[in-house]
Structure 1
Amino acid sequence: MNWEQLLSLKRFGDTHKRIRKEQDETRLGFEVDYDRVIFSSEFRSLQDKTQVIPLSQTDFVHTRLTHSLEVSVVGRSLGRRVGQRVLAKYPHLQNIHGYQPNDFGAIVAAAALAHDIGNPPFGHSGEKAIGEFFKNGKGKQFKAHLTDKEYQDLCDFEGNANGFKILTESRVGRLGGLRLSYATLGAFIKYPKESLPKKPTSHIADKKYGFFQSEKDAFVDVAQELGLICRGKDQHLSYSRHPLAFLVEAADDICYTIIDFEDGINLGLINEEYALEYLINLVRDTINTKNYHALSNTEDRISYLRALAISTLINEAVELFMAHEDEILNGTFDKALMDVSKYQAQITDIIKVSIEKVYQSAEVVDKEIAGFKIIDGILDVFTNTIMNHHQGNLGNYNKSILKIFPKTLDLNEENLYHSVLGICNYVAKFSDSKAIMTHKKLQGTHF
């Protein structure tokens, strides 16, 4: 892979090549990507979607929206610093083509801002609930009507693939979705493969999948424009990652490792003194003990250590990226950056505590169970309506349900897969509160 191709400014529908030197420096194309994501309705709904603590009523616990904003800030720093190093290594990118360090930052920031845009309500349990409905629930009825890959898209419903659908899906008046630059779309795709085969290798890019069958053509278009390396065999589509996807992933890993831990402390789920010790172990080489001991309360000490920890891990990620840049461009680097960090032991310790004290806390588990039941109930009604509509067997209740579906959902086509996936995409866009309200409405208890 080469950087000039990887930094493509192309957007869906373009008929002429966009030249970097011809860009308006006050309204750079990569910065437009960020604006389009942040003004989208799908991004706004993240303000009422679970990050770790579902339906939390406290004002200091992160939602998907605040998490995404923080990941984008970290991603921007990573991108700019890597960009500076890349341009020094390949000066023609700047001298001839006009690329700047901030271009890299803008691409990573926009992709990081969008990284959770496809996640369903109730956190990762929402993904599992959708998949479980089709794998072992009433959604099993669709298996006989779909190809193996189409059915697998549903059984392993993936927020990353749903995000790519949101960013690229055409509808009347919005051809090409948000029409982001292909460089940003490439950086967004963590897992550039389809749902089957599952985990064909131990490569980080094969851990999950990144697009549904409905967006297969859009993905191939992006991959070919960017010059991503084809890794798939036979009829199975798989490509190497865009190099900047490693930075988006690192920004996410850094934020959830440190900030989910901080949320656990603020909620009293993790003992403060215990937690401070873990953070100090991570920043021991860079902490200013005089400044630290001058802080008079726990909140300020945690805030100081959190900022220092994020800064430490940003520095580490930049060094790791540049150390492995050749392998990344060749598609042979097969791990997440933070998995090869010299701080891996400290990161693992922090994540282990978060799993035990936060992710598996009674509050989280209880509300995930409720979310599971809510999504299952909604899908039961909605997919039953879709099947009856497909078979020309609509009852009066089904006809009423059809009226609450969005006008953008096209159910007139004969392709059952697109209709069912469209319903899953619709439900995945729900905020936690809208999912609860919709479930009550369907149960006849919302009056």
Structure 2
Amino acid sequence: MNWEQLLSLKRDGDTHKRLRKEQDETRLGFEVDYDRIIFSSAFRSLQDKTQVIPLSKTDFVHTRLTHSLEVSVVGRSLGRIAGKRILEKHPYLKEMHGYQFNDFGAIVAAAALAHDIGNPPFGHSGEKAIGEYFKNGSGQQFRSNLTEKEYQDLVDFEGNANGYKLMAESREGVSGGLRLSYATLGAFMKYPKESLPKKPTNHIADKKFGFFQSDKSSFQSIAKDLGLLQRGSGEAVSYCRHPLTYLVEAADDICYTIIDFEDGINLGLISEDFALEYLIKLVKDTINTKKYNALAYKEDRLSYLRALAINTLINDAVRVFMENEDKILNGMFSVSLLDKSMYTAQIDDIIALSVEKVYQSQEVIEKEIAGYKIISDILDVYTDALVREKNSDASNYNKLMLRTLPEFYRRTNVSLYQILLNTCCYVASLSDGAAILLHKKIKGIEI
């Protein structure tokens, strides 16, 4: 893979090549990507999707929105620092083509901003709840009418694939969705493969999948334009990651490692003394002890250590990226950047404590259970109504329910797979609060 091709400014529908030297520096193409994402309705819904504690209304807890904004800030720093190093190593990118280090920061920031845009309500349990409906719930009835890969898309419903769909899918009169640059869409794609074969290797890019069957040809076109190397064999569609994806992933890893931990402290699930000790181990080489000891309040001590920890991990992630740039460009780097960090032991300790005290807390478990029931019931009502309408067998109740759907999701003149996938994507678009309210209305609890 080569950087000039990977930094493509091309957008869906372009008939000519967009050259970096011809870009308006006051509103660079990659920065337009950021703007389009942040003004999208899908991004706005993240304000009511909780990052750690599902349904939590606690002021301390990060939502998917605040988490995404923080990841984009960290991603911008990662991209700029790495971009500066890349241009020093490959000066022709600046001298011949006009690329600047800020371009790398803008691409990573935009992709990082969108990294959770396709996630359903109720955290990662929302993805599992959708999949469970088709694997063990009423959705099993559709299996015989779907191809193996179509069914796998549903039983392993993936927020990353839904995110790509939201940003790149064409609709009537709207070609290419948000029409983001191919560089940003490539950097967004953490798992550039289809749902089957499932986890064919231990490579980080094979951990999950990144696009549904309905979007396969769309992504293949983008991958070809970016020059992504093919990894799949036979009919399996799989590509090497865009190199900047590693920085997007690192930004997310850094934020959830440090900030989910911080949420646990603020919620009282992790004791302050214990937590601060873990963070101090991470920043022991850069901490200003005199400055730290002068901080009288917990919030200030935590804020100082958080900033120091994030900065420490940013610099270390860039070190790993640059040391392995050749491997990354050749598709030979098979783990995340933090897996090669010199702080792996400290990161693992922090994550283990977060898992024990936060992710497996009673509050999280109880509310994830509620999320399973809510999502299953909503899917039941809408899949039944849509399939019956397709078969000209809809009841009056079915027809009433269809009128509550946005017009795009009411379409039944498409395949069964498309109907089921669209229904899943509609449920995934709901915020936590909207899903709860809709469930109450379906159950007749609230009118």
TM-score, scaled to structure 1: 0.99
Other-structure match for 1:250: 250
CA distance in 2, matches of 1:186, 1:25: 22
CA distance in 2, matches of 1:323, 1:40: 37
CA distance in 2, matches of 1:162, 1:270: 33
Other-structure match for 1:269: 269
CA deviation after TM superposition for structure 1 residue 422, in Å: 0.6
Query: 3-state SS of the aligned residue for 1:409?
Result: helix
CA distance in 2, matches of 1:407, 1:80: 41
Letter matched to residue 77 of structure 1: S
Other-structure match for 2:413: 413
CA distance in 2, matches of 1:391, 1:151: 20
CA distance in 1, matches of 2:376, 2:407: 23
Other-structure match for 1:323: 323
Other-structure match for 2:51: 51
Letter matched to residue 314 of structure 2: I
CA distance in 2, matches of 1:403, 1:74: 42
Deviations 1:116-142 (A, max 9, x none): 000000000000000000000000011
CA deviation after TM superposition for structure 1 residue 59, in Å: 1.3
Letter matched to residue 439 of structure 2: H
CA distance in 2, matches of 1:340, 1:351: 16
- Give me the identity figure in percent: 70
CA distance in 1, matches of 2:60, 2:285: 29
CA distance in 2, matches of 1:48, 1:41: 12
Deviations 1:366-393 (A, max 9, x none): 1111011100010011111122122221
CA distance in 2, matches of 1:235, 1:107: 31
Specify every segment of 5 or more residues in structure 1 that has no aligned partner in the other structure, as ranges: none
CA distance in 1, matches of 2:416, 2:388: 11
Query: 3-state SS of the aligned residue for 2:407?
Result: coil
Other-structure match for 1:137: 137
Other-structure match for 1:384: 384
Deviations 1:57-113 (A, max 9, x none): 221210000000000000000000100000010100000000000000000000000
CA deviation after TM superposition for structure 1 residue 173, in Å: 3.0
CA distance in 1, matches of 2:434, 2:299: 33
CA distance in 2, matches of 1:156, 1:368: 17
Aligned-residue CA RMSD (Å): 0.7
- Aligned pair count? 447
CA deviation after TM superposition for structure 1 residue 410, in Å: 5.3
Residue range with higher mean Cα deviation, 237-246 or 49-58: 49-58
Specify every segment of 5 or more residues in structure 2 that has no aligned partner in the other structure, as ranges: none
**Is contact 2:387-2:412 (8 Å) kept?**
no
Tell whether 2:127 aligns with 1:127.
yes
Deviations 1:381-414 (A, max 9, x none): 1111122122221111111111111112252324
CA deviation after TM superposition for structure 1 residue 269, in Å: 0.3
Tell whether 2:146 aligns with 1:146.
yes
Give runs of aligned pairs for residues 267-306 of structure 1, distance below 5 A: 267-306=267-306
CA distance in 2, matches of 1:235, 1:315: 40
Query: 3-state SS of the aligned residue for 1:301?
Result: helix
CA distance in 2, matches of 1:410, 1:195: 25
CA distance in 2, matches of 1:34, 1:175: 18
TM-score, scaled to structure 2: 0.99
CA distance in 2, matches of 1:186, 1:57: 35
Query: 3-state SS of the aligned residue for 1:103?
Result: helix
CA deviation after TM superposition for structure 1 residue 18, in Å: 0.4
Tell whether 2:113 aligns with 1:113.
yes
CA distance in 2, matches of 1:273, 1:28: 46
Give runs of aligned pairs for residues 46-445 of structure 1, distance below 5 A: 46-409=46-409, 411-445=411-445
Query: 3-state SS of the aligned residue for 2:403?
Result: helix
**Is contact 2:76-2:106 (8 Å) kept?**
yes
Letter matched to residue 254 of structure 2: I
CA distance in 2, matches of 1:383, 1:24: 47
CA distance in 2, matches of 1:58, 1:419: 36
Letter matched to residue 208 of structure 1: K
